[in-house]
Amino acid sequence: MKVTYSWLKEFVELKVSPEKLSCQLTMAGLSVASFERFNDDWVYDIEVTSNRPDWLSVRGIACEVAAVTGGKLKKKDDGRWAIDDRKKSKNRKAKEQKPFSITIEDRKCCSLYWGSLIKDVKVGPSPEWLKKRLESIGLRPVNNVVDITNYCLMEFGQPLHAFDFDKIRGSSIIVRRARPGERLVLIDGSEKKLDPEVLVIADASKALATAGIMGGKESEVTERTMSVLLESAYFDPVTIRRGTRSLGLTSDASYRFERGVDKAGVKKALDAATRMIKDLCYGTFVESLECGSGAQNQNLKIVFPLKNVEDILSVRISSNIIRSMLEKLGFGVKPKSKDVFHVSVPTYRRDVKDVEDLIEEVARIYGYEKIPLTTPLIKPFSFKIPACQALEPKVRDFFVASGLKEVITYSLLSDDDFKKSAIPQPDVVRCLENPLSQDYSLLRSTLVPSLLKTVAHNVNRNNKNFEIFEISHVFSQKEQLAAGLVLCGARRSTWLKEFKSYGLLDLKGILETLLAEVAVENYKIENAKGEDAPWASSAAILKIDGERLGVFGQVSESVKVAWELKSKEDIFIAEILLETLAKFARLKKLLKPFLATPSIFRDVSVLAPEHISFEKIKASIQKQAEGYLKNLSVVECYQGKEIPEGSTGLTFSLEYAVKAKTLTDEEVNGIHQKVLQSLTADLGLKLR
């Protein structure tokens, strides 16, 4: 927004130099982007923030200047612009038809439209003072009528448009949506194909202008124009924004309408322009007509305790100074008591909604540089990092140390991603109201589809052997932090080892090592049902104290086909909830002394039917050897010719030791015999 020093002086009694005013405006929040001399005047180019459309007018900036400099705001009487709307020709009867009509078809997009008809206009060059003023702020003079509308636009912040009345068919103005395929040549010479997104001003047969954006070439004011119809209206900001986007076009008018003009200024700007056309173009005013509602919302009332100013700014400012600041900014101020004001917010200050906003206005005008630097009173407190937040880096570091590579995927999925993963959508699915694409419309309730999408991307580009993980949030009944792992294909060979295909036990080993790393011991692994892991051909559930921690398994062939995986590599996926793990994890390491007594080892080889899980065998051994068993490990898992079908040969190594003494063979043999008896009698295993 450009404004000149001389123009501001018409509204404010300025006693500061142009240079000092530039600094004061910048310190008050009206950042002066450039400040340069133009002839005998100074021009300020002010950066206007989106929440202050009132700064898009000379009058709005003048209020700020008066408040910032302490200068007296001149009461520039708007009565000088007043037009007697009731004055009509004496030869015309009261019931005679109006000279023109206004119809609004869409009241939501245009709630108020004023039109003013001036006849016998002499269109020509503007007077020198008007030309220089427009040129000083970067506007090109066109003719006296157009220059007057631009002048009033800059002074009042209300866009106006002038039509050649003789080119309006039927003497009727219709505010409507553009018809599909309708075309309009604009005043800049470009032809635009319109669509219903665009609001237009039309006559009885065609569109004359794009509402709030730019006028049409056919109805523009030229030197041959004799009668002028002035338009001043209130257009919906969203409608104008959509129209400019549809047309790929912006203007000074649309820039203001998009940010919202003050409805109270619609008639003021129209009257001012009408009076100037009468005076400078020697026209004859005929009549002004209104269509729509000019009713304003009631001014917002705020109870303003002055004590809050000192509490927040740490500086004491007298009530008289605060009142003077607010009144110069256009606020109505009435004392309710000694230290409380009733403040009425003007309609053009839609950015002010509460007491804190008023305090910001006081601080801005008073001067941020005048507010003393004080040390805030900080009470000591202890900050405890949430358990899940502390666990996350530990888990990430563990996965990286285990040779997995981290991936980061989108939290948004499509309905098709769930279907390809054979995962039904949860009852409470979180769907975006306005997704950028249907491929990213649903918040994921599990990491599995995202991981499968990553696997498909890599496998189909001939990267078939990899290990990845992701730690991110999932969204179901609530937002939770989850970790997902994938083992695909085979472990890469080294100079010591050859390729070896991954198996479900590899994935299980990583999870068990993670649990051991965070000191979780009382976990169980159970066979998963179909609904627990619908994407898997075989899967298991991890539980801690009966609470589900996660699931891991092998991806089924049907899911691989659905994701169009062009490879036969086995894929294994695990997903655990870190918030659940954090409840049981112990991140603080505890040191235990080594046993000073020697250990005694015994091996056990059994034939185990497939329906007997390792967990049951382990639990049986630990129960019988409680207090003596130091360690239990699987030495061998074998299935071959010597092993009956439906069974597995398992060999365990049992380490016995106690802290108090050295065990004898006789003591160990007695305990070990109980272990063997339990395995054969209770579980039905056969010793090998």
Three-state DSSP class for 336? strand
Q: Is the pLDDT of residue 78 over 60?
A: no
Please list the residues that pair with 52 across neighbouring strands.
none
pTM of the model: 0.60
Which H or E run includes 576? strand 571-577
More confident residue, 423 or 428: 423
More confident residue, 688 or 258: 258
Taking alpha carbons only, the member of 226, 238, 108, 112 closest to residue 162 is: 226
619-660: per-residue pLDDT in tens?
A: 899 999 999 999 998 888 888 878 888 888 999 999 999 988
Confidence grade of residue 497 (pLDDT, cut at 50, 70, 90): low
344-391: per-residue pLDDT in tens?
A: 999 999 899 999 999 999 999 999 989 888 777 777 777 788 899 999
The C-alpha atoms of residue 287 and residue 278 are separated, in whole angstroms, by 13
| Mean pLDDT, range 151-159, rounded to an integer | 96
Taking alpha carbons only, the member of 378, 385, 463, 450 closest to residue 420 is: 450
Question: Nearest 5 degrees, angle CA 192-CA 197-CA 198?
Answer: 50
275-332: per-residue pLDDT in tens?
A: 999 999 999 999 999 999 867 667 899 999 999 999 899 899 999 999 999 999 999 9
Taking alpha carbons only, the member of 77, 81, 97 closest to residue 89 is: 97
Q: What is the pLDDT of residue 297?
A: 67
201-233: per-residue pLDDT in tens?
A: 999 999 999 999 999 999 999 999 999 999 999
| Mean pLDDT, range 573-582, rounded to an integer | 95
Q: Is the pLDDT of residue 535 over 60?
A: yes
Q: What is the pLDDT of residue 89?
A: 40
The C-alpha atoms of residue 473 and residue 397 are separated, in whole angstroms, by 18
Q: Is the pLDDT of residue 469 over 80?
A: yes
| Mean pLDDT, range 65-89, rounded to an integer | 67
Q: What is the pLDDT of residue 90?
A: 40
Q: What is the pLDDT of residue 91?
A: 41
Is the Cβ–Cβ distance between 215 and 163 less than 8 Å? yes
**Across the chain, what does the average pLDDT equal?**
90
Is the Cβ–Cβ distance between 525 and 540 less than 8 Å? yes
Q: First-to-last CA distance in the chain?
A: 93
Confidence grade of residue 86 (pLDDT, cut at 50, 70, 90): very low
Q: Is the pLDDT of residue 79 over 70?
A: no
Is the Cβ–Cβ distance between 21 and 320 less than 8 Å? no
Please list the residues that pair with 142 across neighbouring strands.
none
Residue 83: partners with Cβ closer than 8 Å, 6 or more residues away: 116, 271, 274, 275, 285, 288
Confidence grade of residue 672 (pLDDT, cut at 50, 70, 90): very high
Taking alpha carbons only, the member of 580, 576, 560 closest to residue 568 is: 560
| Mean pLDDT, range 562-589, rounded to an integer | 91
538-569: per-residue pLDDT in tens?
A: 999 999 988 999 999 999 999 999 999 887 88
Half-sphere exposure of 465 (CA within 13 A, CB side): 9
More confident residue, 567 or 176: 176
Q: What are phi and psi of 173, to 5 degrees?
A: -110, 125
Tokens representing 501 are: 């295909």
Q: Is the pLDDT of residue 85 over 70?
A: no
| Mean pLDDT, range 110-134, rounded to an integer | 95
